[in-house]
């Protein structure tokens, strides 16, 4: 099991600096040990038993989607390290939020969640299917059905009435952001479709992956240089007045989707062109043209203004870069150096009490979230455990359990939203879901950024 992988051989340093969690990137045992510490820290923020809080969610002020991202990160942890101690906690947590229609619209969240939030949970279910993750029925069909159900709901919300297509950010018209189409929702939908396509071979998913990607580029949300922007309002100028803020996880979401399409099509040149362009640009943007060694959330870290929702974003990029490495191994030469130095910087920014959001060594003890939270733990764990990508086996292949083909899903769920009405919850109950907080922040940040 212990072998020196090409990825690690490229590392500039074998050991991380003196502070922080020890990490020797040339040693699988050391990587697993560091990942184990970070996973334990992440789980400690999710204390499902305490204070009467429901299973599957994080305490205030965390938003619902971040718990979905936490479980997805821990599935990756179990899959890459083989440490299954959290499997039942993950399974219980994920299944607690599926809701009565098994579509990740539980009653406590359904009035406020956005398409991106729902898709975050569906991507976690997809990860569980691909990893043949445990569930109480001992088959991965249930995970696949959940992912397929959300996929079908999102296709029903695909909105050609404005901007020639695309998903809106929000599901219901009474939520701020219903008039906005964003790359988080559309990128997650594209990624979900591409992973379902590759996992099942069902052409319906492939068709939708093409539609979603084609629309995103046509709308200019991904520009000719492969910058991935946040989105645009449907009200002014028909989505042409684009909010040009770039967040790492939306680039990462499209990157993962493109890598899965590349793999599905056995290296089709259209997808290779997209993968090369998106990868090159993403690494340039979030590693500041190679002037920094660690992934940086450029939209907010510089100004120490990352919100609680922005902090875990670069960890999701790290997660999806590791998936990209699996789906398109030729990208190792491009990704490995910056990836490895980021993992080292992340480990160096952590200690027993938590991880700093900042990996540049310049923010110790000051600014933003240097004390640690769920997001900073997701960030560090994702990059550190991702170093094990090559030991993960044929991720997502094949869609079988014990050699028997997985039954294709057969769901008939009808979507709500996109004009549908629902009873809005009282302010007290309605936790502002997902990226909802962004809309206000985005408005003010635009003036800062542009």
Ligand X SMILES: *[C@@H]1O[C@H](CO)[C@@H](O)[C@H](O)[C@H]1NC(C)=O
Q: Are strands 354-355 and 242-243 parallel, antiparallel or unpaired?
A: unpaired
For residues 122 and 134, give the distance between their C-alpha atoms in angstroms, rounded to a whole number. Answer: 16
Per DSSP, the residues of 240-257 read TSEE----HHHHHHHHHH
| CB nearer to ligand X: pick between 108 and 344 | 108
Minimum CB–partner distance for residue 17 and ligand X (Å)? 23
Both tokens of 161, joined, read 């009435």
User: What is the chain's percent helix, strand, coil content, to nearest 5?
Assistant: 50, 5, 45
User: Could you count the other beta carbons within 10 Å of the beta carbon of residue 37?
Assistant: 20
| CB nearer to ligand X: pick between 207 and 421 | 207
Minimum CB–partner distance for residue 24 and ligand X (Å)? 25
| CB nearer to ligand X: pick between 15 and 422 | 422
Per DSSP, what are the bridge partners of residue 114? 170
| CB nearer to ligand X: pick between 9 and 54 | 54
| CB nearer to ligand X: pick between 90 and 171 | 90
Q: Buried b / exposed e across 261-274, counting CB within 10 Å, b at 16+?
A: bbbbeeeeeebbeb
| CB nearer to ligand X: pick between 27 and 55 | 55
Minimum CB–partner distance for residue 152 and ligand X (Å)? 5
- The half-sphere exposure of 292 on its side-chain side, counting CA atoms within 13 A, is 21
Minimum CB–partner distance for residue 171 and ligand X (Å)? 18
Minimum CB–partner distance for residue 4 and ligand X (Å)? 19
Shortest Cβ contact with ligand X: which residue? 54
Q: Report angle CA 126, 130, 131 to the nearest 5 degrees.
A: 115
Both tokens of 435, joined, read 């990226």
Q: Report angle CA 46, 48, 50 to the nearest 5 degrees.
A: 105
| CB nearer to ligand X: pick between 299 and 384 | 299
Both tokens of 61, joined, read 């002020």
For residues 110 and 108, give the distance between their C-alpha atoms in angstroms, rounded to a whole number. Answer: 6
Minimum CB–partner distance for residue 124 and ligand X (Å)? 16
Q: Using CB under 6 A, list all residues that contact ligand X.
A: 47-49, 54, 57, 89, 96, 106, 108, 136-139, 148, 152, 164, 202, 204, 214, 217-218, 238, 263, 266-267, 280, 283-284, 288-289, 308, 311, 326-329, 334, 368-369, 371, 373, 394, 401-402, 408-410, 412
| CB nearer to ligand X: pick between 23 and 242 | 242
Minimum CB–partner distance for residue 22 and ligand X (Å)? 24
SS3 of 170, please? strand
Minimum CB–partner distance for residue 121 and ligand X (Å)? 13
Of 129, 106, 101, the residue nearest 117 (C-alpha)? 106
Q: Secondary structure of 397-414 in the HEC alphabet? A: CCCEECCEECCCCCCCCC
SS3 of 114, please? strand
| CB nearer to ligand X: pick between 27 and 139 | 139
Minimum CB–partner distance for residue 160 and ligand X (Å)? 9
Of 59, 38, 39, 36, the residue nearest 47 (C-alpha)? 59
| CB nearer to ligand X: pick between 72 and 373 | 373
Q: Buried b / exposed e across 188-198, counting CB within 10 Å, b at 16+?
A: bbbbbbbbbbb
Chain center to CA of 34: 21
How far is the first Cα of the chain from the last one, in angstroms, to the nearest whole number?
49
Minimum CB–partner distance for residue 311 and ligand X (Å)? 6
């Amino acid at each position: 099991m212990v072998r020196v992988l090409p990825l690690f051989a490229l590392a500039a340093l074998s050991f991380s600096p003196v502070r922080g969690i020890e990490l020797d990137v040339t040693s699988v045992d050391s990587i697993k040990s560091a990942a184990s510490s970070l996973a334990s820290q992440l789980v400690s923020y999710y204390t499902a038993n305490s204070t009467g809080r429901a299973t599957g969610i994080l305490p205030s002020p965390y938003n619902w989607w971040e718990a979905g991202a936490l479980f997805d990160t821990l599935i990756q942890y179990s899959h890459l390290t083989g440490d299954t101690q959290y499997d039942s906690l993950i399974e219980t947590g994920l299944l607690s939020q599926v809701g009565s229609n098994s579509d990740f619209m539980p009653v406590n969240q359904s009035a406020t969640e956005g398409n991106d939030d729902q898709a975050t949970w569906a991507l976690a279910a997809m990860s569980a299917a691909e990893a043949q993750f445990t569930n109480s029925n001992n088959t991965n069909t249930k995970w696949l059905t959940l992912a397929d159900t959300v996929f079908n709901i999102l296709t029903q919300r695909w909105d050609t009435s404005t901007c020639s297509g695309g998903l809106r950010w929000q599901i219901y018209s009474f939520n701020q952001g219903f008039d906005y189409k964003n790359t988080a929702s559309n990128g997650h939908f594209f990624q979900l479709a591409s992973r379902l396509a590759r996992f099942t071979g069902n052409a319906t998913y492939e068709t939708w992956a093409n539609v979603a990607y084609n629309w995103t580029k046509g709308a200019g949300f991904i520009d000719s240089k492969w910058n991935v922007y946040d989105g645009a309002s449907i009200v002014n100028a028909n989505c042409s007045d684009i909010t040009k803020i770039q967040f790492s996880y939306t680039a990462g979401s499209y990157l993962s989707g493109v890598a899965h399409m590349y793999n599905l099509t056995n290296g089709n040149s259209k997808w290779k062109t997209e993968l090369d362009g998106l990868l090159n640009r993403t690494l340039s943007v979030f590693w500041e043209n190679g002037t920094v060694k660690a992934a940086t959330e450029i939209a907010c870290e510089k100004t120490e203004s990352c919100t609680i929702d922005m902090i875990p974003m670069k960890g999701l990029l790290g997660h999806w870069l590791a998936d990209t490495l699996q789906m398109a191994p030729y990208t190792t030469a491009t990704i490995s150096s910056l990836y490895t130095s980021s993992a080292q910087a992340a480990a160096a920014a952590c200690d027993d009490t938590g991880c700093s959001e900042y990996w540049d060594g310049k923010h110790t003890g000051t600014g933003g979230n240097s004390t640690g939270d769920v997001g900073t733990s997701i960030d560090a764990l994702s990059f550190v455990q991702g170093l094990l990508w090559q030991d993960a086996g044929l991720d997502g292949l094949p869609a079988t359990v014990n050699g028997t083909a997985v039954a294709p899903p057969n769901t008939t769920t009808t979507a709500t939203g996109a004009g549908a009405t629902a009873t809005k919850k009282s302010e007290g109950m309605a936790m502002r879901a997902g990226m909802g907080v962004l809309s206000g922040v985005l408005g003010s940040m635009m003036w800062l950024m542009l």
